[in-house]
Amino acid sequence: MRILMTLTYYYPHWTGLTAYAQRLAEGLAGRGHTVTVLTSQYDPQLPRAEMHEGVRIVRLPSLFRLSRGQVMPRFIGALRELVLEHDVVQVHTPMLETWLVGAIAHGAGRKMLMTHHGDLVMPTGWWNQFVQRTVGYWLDRGADAADHITTHSQDYADNSAYLRPYLDKLTAIYPPVVMPDPDLEAVAAWRADLGLEGRPLVGFAGRFVEEKGFDYLLQAIPTVTAQLPGVIFAYAGDHKVVYESFFDHCRQLVDANAACVRFMGLITDKQRLANFYAMCDLFVLPSRTDCFPSVQIESLYCGTPLVCTDIPGAREVVRATGMGRLVAPRDPQALAEGLLAVLNHPEDYRVSPERARQVFSLEETLSRYEALLGELAAS
């Protein structure tokens, strides 16, 4: 097949959405398909076109950034040309232009698959809420235009106000995850370098934005440290999010917990990321809302159990494997109790990486997308 994918941000940008799209694109290219990605040149230093891991990347100059999106004046023209060169189109949402992609694809006699990575959830404030409602309107039009929709779990689809009207044309497919085995010698050396030998370590990661619920985790830390004085919380990620100032909002909580919170920075090297997960005694996801963060599967691949809020989508991993504990959302006390339960009784939450790789199989995910895209291309 000749597959055209489009999304706002792609490699080397680093979020769960872009990692998902990159793994899928490279996986399908590895199976012999021609894959082109149309995306933004969000950084002027990036090349307009390049081949990376068998995938052709076409980047369009951005006039300016609007909230989380990029305004690309050349998008319509480039999309029209590329649609004609391909058999099927896939768009990764949230993306404002989804409805436009559907219209152009249909005009050229092509089908469009919409892969939805989570409802748009903006922080409080009149401007953010205006953006959410405006983009939400156009995302609805995009879902109307989609010939088929995929998302990460049926649980999320059933509980999403955005997706619920489209369940008759929706398929749930687990995310593609690629993660090497951790280097246990390097893990031990890293712990020693950080002075963490013999100390409990709780890992967390992701964009430092309101929906990830890191403020609840920061509020829970004093309760945990009161019972486990030596515990350390390690954050892997970039807390400087250009479109949201949530870290500044949490500054007082961060400063209050400075003695037991370590900032590891954004980790993009796969081996080092695997070692980070393996170094942690548990991985925590305190989100307010979340579709299906791949960090949970990555953590299990590396033998580390989970503590996760019991919310649609995010709870899927613990439900499917039993390798962790679900806690009430937006509740620092419940979160602290869940962390302590896993830290104090690790034998009850033992992780089988082999079992996790069976449940969340990369090859199974690629095969399901290959079949679905093939059906759309053939029709």
Residue of 362 and 130 predicted with greater confidence: 362
Shared domain for 126 and 143, answered yes or no, is yes
Are residue 250 and residue 319 in the same domain, yes or no?
Answer: yes
**Residue among 96, 97, 111 nearest 146 (CA):** 111
Sorting pLDDT into bands at 50, 70 and 90, what band is 243? low
Please, which pLDDT band fits residue 130 given cuts at 50, 70 and 90? confident
189 and 333 both lie in a single domain: yes
Give pLDDT, residue 364. Answer: 98
Q: Residue 136: its pLDDT value, please? A: 75
Pair (238, 355) in one structural domain: yes
Give the domain CATH number at 207: 3.40.50.2000
Residues 302 and 268 grouped into a single domain:
yes
Please state the domain count of the chain. 2
Strand order in the sheet with 2-6: 49-52, 55-61, 34-41, 2-6, 88-93, 111-116, 148-151, 170-172
**Other CB atoms within 10 Å distance of the CB of residue 206:** 21
Check whether residue 350 and residue 370 sit in a common domain.
Answer: no
Instruction: Say whether both 127 and 276 belong to one domain.
Output: no
What confidence score (pLDDT) does residue 122 get? 64
Give the range among 6-15, 40-49, 59-68, 83-92 with minimum mean pLDDT: 59-68
N residues, the chain = 379
Q: Alpha carbon of 248 to those of 99, 185, 239: distances in Å?
A: 35, 37, 9
Please report the pLDDT score of residue 68 as a whole number: 74
Q: Are residues 266 and 353 in the same domain?
A: yes
Tens of pLDDT, residue by residue over 352-371, are 999 999 999 999 999 999 99
Query: Which range of residues forms the domain containing residue 72?
Result: 2-177+361-378
How far is it, in rounded angstroms, from Cα 209 to Cα 249?
10
Amino acid making up residue 258: A
Structure tokens at 144: 């109307």
Residue range 305-325: average pLDDT? 97
Q: Summarize pLDDT for 202-226 with one digit per residue, the tens.
A: 999 988 989 999 999 999 999 999 9
Q: Which pair of structure tokens corresponds to residue 344?
A: 């104090």
Mean pLDDT taken over the chain: 94
Determine contact, residues 338/327, Cβ cutoff 8 Å: yes
Q: Is the pLDDT of residue 239 over 90?
A: no
**pLDDT tens-digit profile of 326-355?**
999 999 999 999 999 999 999 999 999 999
Q: What is the mean pLDDT of residues 314-329?
A: 96
* First-to-final CA distance of the chain: 13
Question: What pLDDT was estimated at residue 242?
Answer: 57
- Spatial contact of 317 and 39, defined as CB atoms under 8 Å apart: no
- For 140-158, what is the mean pLDDT? 96
Q: Do residues 163 and 71 both lie within one domain?
A: yes
Say yes or no: 240 and 144 in one domain: no
Residues 189 and 202 in one domain: yes
Residue 228: pLDDT band with limits 50, 70, 90? very high
The alpha-carbon radius of gyration of the chain (Å, integer) is 21
Same domain, yes or no, for 51 and 114? yes
Residue 118 pLDDT class (50, 70, 90 cuts): confident
pLDDT tens profile 17-64? 999 999 999 999 999 999 999 999 999 999 999 999 999 999 999 998
Lowest mean pLDDT among 13-27, 62-76, 129-143, 259-273: 129-143
What sign results for the dihedral spanned by CA atoms 241, 245, 249, 251?
Answer: positive
